[in-house]
Amino acid sequence: MKDDAVLSAGIGLTSLLFMRGLAFSSLRVGERYRLINYGELFEFELISILDKDEFLLKDLFTLETYKMSQLIGFGKGDDLEIRML
């Protein structure tokens, strides 16, 4: 019954069970990643791990440094995805 309500709301079961891309705990210093959140695309290199879910990043296009919390400061969208480049 609960599954029927989820499906009728337009939410697939696979989107509830699986996160697309990599988990924050899988990110490694020195690696390059692509993050999509709310339709915005960011490509960055992970410079250092500051906390469990906080990272210092370097933008691959502008070479600006910023924290992960600045990218997801408005929340994690339904399209949130992190992939290794």
Task: Give the separation between CA 28 and CA 48, rounded to whole angstroms.
Answer: 8
CATH topology of domain 19-84: SH3 type barrels. (2.30.30)
Give the pLDDT mean for 70-75. Answer: 89
pLDDT surpasses 90 at 84: yes
Query: Which residues, including other chains, have CB under 8 Å from residue 66's CB and lie 6 or more apart?
Result: 56, 57, 59
Q: Residue 53: its pLDDT value, please?
A: 85
Quick check: 19 pLDDT over 70? Answer: no
Tell me what percent of the residues of the chain surpass a pLDDT of 90: 60
What residues contact residue 69 under an 8 Å CB cut-off, 6+ apart?
Answer: 53, 54
pTM for the complete prediction? Answer: 0.74
Position with higher pLDDT, 75 vs 47: 47
Distance (Å, whole) CA 62 – CA 44: 10
66 pLDDT tier (thresholds 50, 70, 90): very high
